[in-house]
Amino acid sequence: MSRITAVEPIVVRRKLARPFYFSQWEQHERAVCLVKVTTDDGLYGWGEGYGPADVVAAGIRFLTPFVLGENPLHNAAVWQTLYRRSLDYARRGVLVSALSAIDIALWDLKGKLLGQPVSVLLGGPRRASVAVYATGLYFTHTPDLPGALAAEAVTYAEQGFSAIKMKVGLGLAADVANVRAVRAVLGPGIQLMIDANHAYSRSEALALARAVEDQTIGWFEEPVSPEDYEGYAELRLRTSIPIAGGECEALCAGFRHLATQHCVDIAQPDLGMAGGLTEGQRIAALMQTFGANVTPHCWGTGIAFAAALHFAATLEMIPGRLMAAEPLLEMDRSENPLRDELATPRFVPRAGRVAVPTAPGLGVDVDPAALAAFA
């Protein structure tokens, strides 16, 4: 029987060549906390937490004593222990990210021990490749922001993406100009989503929704504060644009509010913060029971993307039908050397899809040279 002998948080970071901003702050650096969990038979699994990297690392160090000596095949049992040990301090928040990172690493290990990809362990993939959308179109300091965004959008279309998400949250006039510029160059054949990162009040969000409804928007993501569940529910009834959210939410206990108050059409748990793959499956069941579809939020390295990819491969859209839509997985295209260089093999979208790894576990490893360069 396999036993866990080491849990190692590793913070990687890199300054950006071209800083960008969104509705909340400027991004000058990408930093991520990975975790490597090793067993006495020499195997290891990789996980990744979402959130302030140094704080996630401290959380992992706090949880480590409750993981050492455990059997990685008992991943859901270990999850229960970590949940109980963190509950008093972190009903949501960065300690849950630490739990999530460890959980993902245990799934990777479990797959390697059983010789199966994580998508099979999760119950089996519904599809061999997952449709992805490009996340980009952040703001940069340029005299012609609508023109710059339109030009960037064209590059994603040329790369084969059939769905693209852009940032809003600069104010009604600027947002409408940007959305119209991007829609104009994309034409009607490409899905376009907007993401405010909770920049707006209810009335501001409603005004923006009404102003861009004629632009055929796939979804309006995080229109209002993640604390304003009533605002989500109200907006959802007053616009024809589907409402998405949930990347700031953790655990079923958090998603319960989005579910029972019918806040979203699309729930977006980040597996590296919402409770890992173990809780991710429960969150999907909860949200779908209340009529919302699920597609993971993903803004990390290839480790986080691999976990989300296996997970998305198993998701079924509700209601099911013969000519069913597919879940769209987020594929961040903004500058991130950690995402591009750390994990191998690298994920490359082809015609707007990414193949689900078939190797045991997550099917990705960390390049030691890149790790040394970023750590």
Helix intervals (H) in the chain: 53-63, 75-87, 94-114, 118-121, 145-158, 172-186, 202-212, 229-238, 251-260, 276-289, 302-314, 337-341, 368-374
Are 149 and 348 contacting, i.e. CB atoms less than 8 angstroms apart? no
Name the residue nearer to Ca ion (CB basis): 4 or 258: 258
Report in angstroms how near the CB of residue 135 gets to Ca ion at its nearest: 7
| 51-90 binders of Ca ion (CB under 5 A) | none
State in angstroms the smallest separation of the CB of 247 from Ca ion.
5
* Residue of 273, 287, 277 whose CA lies nearest to 79: 277
Whose CB is nearest to Ca ion?
195
Question: Which CB sits closer to Ca ion, 79 or 200?
Answer: 200
Is position 249 an interface residue for Ca ion (rule: CB under 5 A)?
Answer: no
Task: Give the residue with the Cβ less far from Ca ion, 195 or 228.
Answer: 195
Which range touches Ca ion (CB under 5 A), out of 24-32, 46-54, 77-85, 193-201?
193-201
Residue 18 is encoded by which pair of tokens? 């071209």
Cα-only R_g, the chain: 20
Give the residue, chosen from 195, 228, 249, 270, that forms a contact with Ca ion under the rule CB under 5 A: 195
Per DSSP, 361 falls in state: B
Using DSSP, state whether 101 is helix, strand or coil: helix
Largest CA distance in the chain: 62
Q: Least separation, in Å, of the C-beta of 341 and Ca ion? A: 23
Q: Contact at 8 Å (CB) between 272 and 48?
A: yes
CB of 48 or CB of 195, closer to Ca ion: 195
d(CA 270, CA 326): 18
270 forms part of the interface with Ca ion (CB under 5 A): no
C-alpha–C-alpha distance, residues 276 and 259, integer Å: 19
Closest separation in Å from C-beta 197 to Ca ion: 6
DSSP state of 342: S
Nearer to Ca ion, 136 or 363 (CB): 136
Please tell me the distance from the alpha carbon of residue 138 to that of residue 108, in angstroms, as a whole number.
32
- Closest contact distance (angstroms) between CB of 271 and Ca ion is 14
Q: What is the dihedral of CA 207, 210, 215, 216, to 10 degrees?
A: 120
Judged by CB under 5 A, the number of residues near Ca ion is 1
Least Å distance, CB 239 to Ca ion, is 18
Question: Which entry of 28, 141, 297, 310 is annotated as an active-site residue?
Answer: 297
Q: Is 337 helix (H, G, I), strand (E, B) or coil?
A: helix
The window from 171-179, 190-198, 205-213, 345-353 that contacts Ca ion (CB under 5 A) reads 190-198
Instruction: Check: CB of residue 183 under 8 Å from CB of residue 215.
Output: yes
Q: Hunting for tokens 């748990």 — which residue is that?
A: 269
Among the residue ranges 61-69, 195-203, 288-296, 342-350, the one whose residues contact Ca ion (CB under 5 A) = 195-203
Please, which residues have CB within 8 angstroms of residue 248's CB and are 6 or more apart in sequence? 198, 222, 226
**Residue with token string 């703001």:** 139
The tokens describing 46, both together, are 């990789």
Whether 297 is catalytic is: yes
| Shortest distance in whole angstroms from residue 221 CB to Ca ion | 5
Q: Rule CB under 5 A: which of 91-130 touch Ca ion?
A: none
Rank residues 119 and 268 by Cβ distance to Ca ion and give the closer one: 268
Nearer to Ca ion, 108 or 332 (CB): 332
- Give the whole-angstrom CA distance, residue 290 versus residue 252: 13
Contact indicator for 79, 250 with CB cutoff of 8 Å: no
Positions touching Ca ion (CB under 5 A) are: 195
The residues carrying an active-site annotation are 297
